[in-house]
Structure 1
Amino acid sequence: MRSKKGALVWILVLVLSLITVTFTGAKALYETKPVPAKERHDISEIIHQSSKWEKVATGSGFMEGINFDRKGNIWLVSPTTGEILTIKGDKVEKVLGDKDKLMPIGAKFHKDGRLFITDGKGELYSYNPATGERKTIVNSYDGKPLNGLNDLVFDETGGLYFTEPMGSSATHPTGRVFYLPPGKTEAILFSENIAYPNGIAISANGQRVYISEFDKNQILSVPSVNAANSPESPFIFARFEGGIGPDGLAVDAEGNLYVAHFQAGEVVVVDANGFKYGTIRLPEDAGTFATNLAFHDGYLYVTESSKNEVWRIQVKMKGLQPYGLN
């Protein structure tokens, strides 16, 4: 009897301890904060009053996947022409292209100098600007070919998240997101049942992965592979009005999320708690196909893919340093 009673007491103490730990964690996460007396934000916190859009270059195809190498050169891709592109002065130049074999949609630099590309034909591959070599990294999961891929982002360890939207929609939410651990060749299923997962980014603290659920006009937040233990679960981080849906994403050093709102002709800025600063609307002579974003030297760069133009605007915030430039 005594041993059973002692065991029961021990189990009760353990359960109470676990409840206390969980409650403490939940309290830290969901702790109430003062309700602001005024509007939470204004877009003037993000851009200078004098900031004006500047056109950087005009190309062809369907330009997106913008990012910068260590020398400050702009790199892009075009899925409709199967090209990897770069900008020289104000001219867009082809680096590699084969529309019969390639459909590059997203691009990010690895810190070793290779450009990693997600392809609409279901392949993740790398391109080495120094040698011109293109190498397949991943093209299957669980023994089956991947569907068309869209966007990607490296975490601070060199692990890679990438989206697989092709074949999914608002009425058929079968899109998936995968994670490729550093140095591995087999991807892990990270999240699924998403209505066209498009752009993807990691929060400034590395705890969340932001996923553009394009066909539901919203952003999902999912705890990252390396997130600390927490009661936080996947949730809808932000919703939008008009346009079609969120495309490319970028994060600044303060943790704010910048969203290329496709068919709306604007960039929406959201703080780390999901509250909107407002929108930065593209100029009147630009198109409405805002697709991808990148920070560089005090500017936010945007690809607009109906007219195939790159625009930039000066911002007050510094972009989060991407893994490829570390």
Structure 2
Amino acid sequence: MKKRAVAIAVLAVFFLVAATFVGAKALYETKSVPKGERHTISEIVPSKAKWEKVVKGDGGFMEGINFDRKGNIWMVSPMSGELLTVKWDKVHQVKKYPGPVGAKFHKDGRLFITDITGVIHAYDPKTGKSETAVSTYKGQPFNGLNDLVFDKDGGLYFTEPMGSSAINPVGRVFYLPANSKEPVLFADKIAYPNGVALSADGNRVYVSEFGKNRVLSVPAKNAPPSPETPFVFGQYEGGIGPDGLAVDTEGNLYIAHFQAGQIVVQDKDGFKYGTIRLPEGAGTFTTNLAFHDGYLYITESSKNEVWRIKVLKKGLVPYGLQ
């Protein structure tokens, strides 16, 4: 029996090493160096595309834009404590919360909402009822929460930035497994973790490190064995830092650059296409973004406006619409 156990253990190690080797080869395989520029923003936005103002809110600080299965826009406002939707070309309050910041739909139709009070709410649009999905980690309350994203299994990544900064990098990212109320720590020691998104293949978690004006890439909780470790995926200049994130089907990452009034676009290897700048007269508080029907939608929170622009790529179908 002992010999059999040893043989099984050896085989397990062999397969693990083999899988890691294959992953390493795919990850670090040499690629041809391009002759000219790798990308231009014209690969993302048609040359004749123009920004269109979708709607303007009355106050607050609109962000956390989402679309439901019927194509309705949902947003939140932490300043005014509102869950919002758009009807008849106007922004309407749906429900009050202490400080809602981010929102994402679950497959079951509920809207999960992060709150600066350290709670994730689960709101049911059909009944109008809301319950607490999670509020503690190992029995201790969270600091204020910010953004969230579901993986393909229904697990939930969410960011906890409050109290952290460039000189106090104590922010954390958590993972809540599907059908669980017990989150696990995913990443820590981050300077204000803001937006969060998953790569197209689901193997990376992108985290906006707002306090250091950069985006981090971290291997996902359920990613296959690989030598890839957390690294800086994108470093930016100007503005303050990256906020909301979105990914298209080709794996390109779209970054709402707060206080810069623009969206930065990078390919799956981190190389930049360029930026999509909001039109003259728009505000610079670009907070969140979402794809819908061939357009990229943006929330600009200083003037409480939603803008959209035609794009050539299709966004990943979020978990809540699958």
Q: Classify the TM-score, shorter chain.
A: over 0.9
Q: How far apart in 2 are the matches of 1:12 and 1:88?
A: 62
Shift, 1:187, TM fit: 0.4
Secondary structure at the counterpart of residue 51 of structure 1: coil
Q: 2:145 pairs with 145, 149, 152, which one?
A: 149
Question: Paired residue for 1:92?
Answer: 91
Secondary structure at the counterpart of residue 206 of structure 1: coil
Question: Paired residue for 2:66?
Answer: 67
Q: 1:12 to 1:316 in 2, by over 3 A?
A: closer
Aligned AA for 1:70? R
Question: Paired residue for 2:39?
Answer: 41
Shift, 1:21, TM fit: 6.0
Secondary structure at the counterpart of residue 291 of structure 1: strand
Secondary structure at the counterpart of residue 246 of structure 2: strand
Q: 2:189 pairs with 166, 177, 193, which one?
A: 193
Aligned AA for 2:103? A
Please state if 1:312 is matched with 2:311.
no
Question: Paired residue for 1:106?
Answer: 102
Q: How far apart in 2 are the matches of 1:14 and 1:115?
A: 41
Shift, 1:307, TM fit: 0.2
The answer as to whether partners of 2:197 and 2:247 remain within 8 angstroms in 1 is: yes
The answer as to whether partners of 2:145 and 2:161 remain within 8 angstroms in 1 is: yes
TM (normalized to structure 1)?
A: 0.93
Q: Deviations over 1:60-79 (max 9, x none)?
A: 20000000000000000000
Q: Deviations over 1:207-258 (max 9, x none)?
A: 0000000010000000101101100011111110100000000000111000
Shift, 1:134, TM fit: 1.0
Q: Deviations over 1:75-106 (max 9, x none)?
A: 000000110000113210000125xxx10000
Q: 1:35 to 1:166 in 2, by over 3 A?
A: same
Q: How far apart in 2 are the matches of 1:28 and 1:319?
A: 25
Question: Paired residue for 1:234?
Answer: 230
Aligned AA for 1:106? G
Deviation >3 Å, runs of 4+:
11-25
Shift, 1:143, TM fit: 1.3
Q: Which of the pair has more CA radius of gyration?
A: 1
TM (normalized to structure 2)?
A: 0.94
Structure 2 runs not aligned, ≥5 long: 1-8
Shift, 1:163, TM fit: 0.2
**What is the 5 A alignment of 1:173-212?**
173-212=169-208
Aligned residues: CA RMSD: 1.7
Q: 1:137 pairs with 130, 133, 139, which one?
A: 133
Shift, 1:297, TM fit: 0.2
Q: How far apart in 2 are the matches of 1:13 and 1:323?
A: 36
Secondary structure at the counterpart of residue 284 of structure 1: coil
Percent identity of paired positions between Structure 1 and Structure 2: 68
Question: Paired residue for 1:4?
Answer: none
Please state if 1:53 is matched with 2:28.
no
Q: How far apart in 1 are the matches of 2:23 and 2:259?
A: 40
The answer as to whether partners of 2:16 and 2:225 remain within 8 angstroms in 1 is: no
Q: Deviations over 1:36-76 (max 9, x none)?
A: 00100000000001100000001020000000000000000
Number of residue pairs the alignment of both structures matches = 313
Q: 1:37 to 1:134 in 2, by over 3 A?
A: same
Structure 1 runs not aligned, ≥5 long: 1-10
